[in-house]
Structure 1
Amino acid sequence: MDLPRNFTIRESSHRIHNPFTSEKLAALGQALHLAPGTRALDLASGSGEMLCTWAHAHGITGTGVDISTEFTTGARLRAAELGVADQVVFIHGDAAGWVADEPVDLSACIGATWIGGGVAGTIDLLRRSLRPGGLLLIGEPYWRRAPLDQRIAEACHASSEDDFRLLPELIEQFGELGCDVVEMVLADQDSWDRYQAAQWLNIRRWLDRNPDDELAAELRAELSEEPARYARYQREYLGWGVFALMDR
């Protein structure tokens, strides 16, 4: 049980595996007015940056669950680096279907709503761990502008335009699912650049070290094509944000 190796190669230097900078992550933590002792569950927690930095800055406690052995190891090292290893725990496991043993104050899935089969299913999953009156956090893409055709949608790693919604429509969807949107912090194009461009450097450095690896041809082709495709399509059409929700 693990992520594909090409994914971990692309994001080997990332602390945040989404188009979100450390500054935006800190701004979100401040905006939520997190109290010391807040109990959090982070499903698909990646390298643990949210839990670790919020434990350090706000005194929260929490558990992260992620399918990647490499990212989980990195999360534990990050917790030790920040001196919060006694506040946060990281588990290597499948976050799909994961429910906390005791209700938490904050239940999150940042950028991996595939674990619940989409936004609706992931909100239902997060609710199963949440105390009444707690906060849900969802990180999700949205269209900055609607793609003109199927080709553009696929260039943004969508199977069709229907994979994502425009921002107002996504916010309306949260309401239809019984949630109030109480805060949001959105990625901007610079956030996307920091996330995507770092992948290109990771790939190039890996290729230089591993020219004969079985993945080398695939990643060489990706590095040759991806920067222009990203600049032409994804940077212009695709947004991303983290939305704080409370059940009505």
Structure 2
Amino acid sequence: MNREQISGIAHRDHPIKSPLDDDSVRRLLERGLPSGDERVLDLGCGGGEWLLRALATRPDLHAEGVDISEDALAEARQAAGRLGVEERLVLHHQEAADFASPEPFDLVLSVGATHAFGGLLPTLAAARKHLTPSGRVLIGEGFWDRSPSPEAVEMFGDLADLATTVDQVVADGWTPVHGHVSTRRELDDYEWACWGSLASWAVDHPADPDSAHVLATATDRRTEWLRTYRDSWGFVSLVLCQTPG
């Protein structure tokens, strides 16, 4: 079983692949899509969960998603068909960093996918290329809520604390118009859902040749969370406008 298949099982019970609950996702989309007829781009859309939620409640919205996973994009197409929004969704199978469009977008999304661009500020630079002058960006990024262990830094990279993260965004020419810091409940619910779903699959499929590997992965990831980063890692989602001038 490859990494993508394991991820699919892990997110079975938590389709938003970030520590956000349904109310938080809804509020973030409301702030990012104030008129409801925007053109939206998701850089690293995965299975299109953000786009599908936006399309399902905004009949005048049009969306495009970019991802390198053929399987995830196939799932997005199937889900769009079930929702009846497939005519308003365009999906691109390619590296998000290489995507180009002749038309700009009113909202550019990249939540939990900044690694694809090499970090927060490179992701914002990529988003700016696709944005209308009055458009918005919805971005999600990790930060250090407390001083991390060396093991946590090795796992997540050179993150900043929350205040410094926001300062970096502002210094880069962006104005935050909304933000959400994932709560302890959202963070814990996400981790329990991911590693619990993996463990449950392994227990329910004892004869599968991948069962032992999946169970070991669930155990290892749960232990890393509890012992390495649970008390230090946080997640912030920001809705940003380009600073005038």
TM-score (normalised: structure 1): 0.86
Q: Partner of 2:57 in structure 1?
A: 57
Worse-superposed segment, 104-113 or 7-16: 7-16
Is the Cα–Cα contact under 8 Å of residues 32 and 107 in structure 2 kept in the other structure? no
Question: What is the identity, as a one-letter code, of the residue corresponding to 1:184?
Answer: G
Equivalent residues in 2 for 1:51-90, closer than 5 Å = 51-59=51-59, 60-90=61-91
Q: Partner of 1:135 in structure 2?
A: 136
- SS across alignment from 1:7: helix
Question: What is the identity, as a one-letter code, of the residue corresponding to 1:95?
Answer: A
Residues 59-116 of structure 1: CA deviation (Å, up to 9, x unaligned): 4211011222222122222222333222222333221221222111111211111221
**Does the alignment pair 1:42 with 2:38?**
no
Please state how far the C-alpha of 1:216 moved relative to its aligned partner.
4.3
Whole-Å Cα distance in 2 between the matches of residues 224 and 111 of structure 1? 23
Please state how far the C-alpha of 1:247 moved relative to its aligned partner.
1.6
Is the Cα–Cα contact under 8 Å of residues 35 and 58 in structure 1 kept in the other structure? no
Please state how far the C-alpha of 1:33 moved relative to its aligned partner.
4.9
Return the match for 1:158 from 152, 156, 159: 156
Whole-Å Cα distance in 2 between the matches of residues 3 and 127 of structure 1? 31
Q: Partner of 2:237 in structure 1?
A: 242
Please state how far the C-alpha of 1:5 moved relative to its aligned partner.
3.5
C-alpha distance 226-188 of structure 1, shift in aligned 2 (>3 A): same
Whole-Å Cα distance in 1 between the matches of residues 76 and 58 of structure 2? 18
Equivalent residues in 2 for 1:99-110, closer than 5 Å = 99-110=100-111
Residues 174-204 of structure 1: CA deviation (Å, up to 9, x unaligned): 0121111111122112212232212223212
Whole-Å Cα distance in 1 between the matches of residues 229 and 51 of structure 2? 28
Q: Partner of 2:171 in structure 1?
A: 176
Is the Cα–Cα contact under 8 Å of residues 32 and 137 in structure 2 kept in the other structure? no
Residues 226-247 of structure 1: CA deviation (Å, up to 9, x unaligned): 3344234433211112111122
Return 5+ residue gaps in structure 1 as ranges.
none
C-alpha distance 91-194 of structure 1, shift in aligned 2 (>3 A): farther
Is the Cα–Cα contact under 8 Å of residues 138 and 243 in structure 1 kept in the other structure? yes
**Does the alignment pair 1:91 with 2:92?**
yes
C-alpha distance 3-221 of structure 1, shift in aligned 2 (>3 A): closer
Worse-superposed segment, 49-58 or 104-113: 49-58
Bigger RCO of structures 1 and 2 (CA < 8 A, at least 6 apart): 2
Question: What is the identity, as a one-letter code, of the residue corresponding to 2:130?
Answer: S
Please state how far the C-alpha of 1:132 moved relative to its aligned partner.
1.0
Return the match for 1:191 from 182, 186, 189: 186
Please state how far the C-alpha of 1:212 moved relative to its aligned partner.
4.8
Equivalent residues in 2 for 1:188-227, closer than 5 Å = 188-207=183-202, 208-209=204-205, 211-213=207-209, 215-227=210-222
Q: Partner of 1:23 in structure 2?
A: 23
Whole-Å Cα distance in 2 between the matches of residues 212 and 85 of structure 1? 35
Whole-Å Cα distance in 2 between the matches of residues 210 and 130 of structure 1? 49
Question: How many residues are paired up?
Answer: 240
Please state how far the C-alpha of 1:151 moved relative to its aligned partner.
3.1
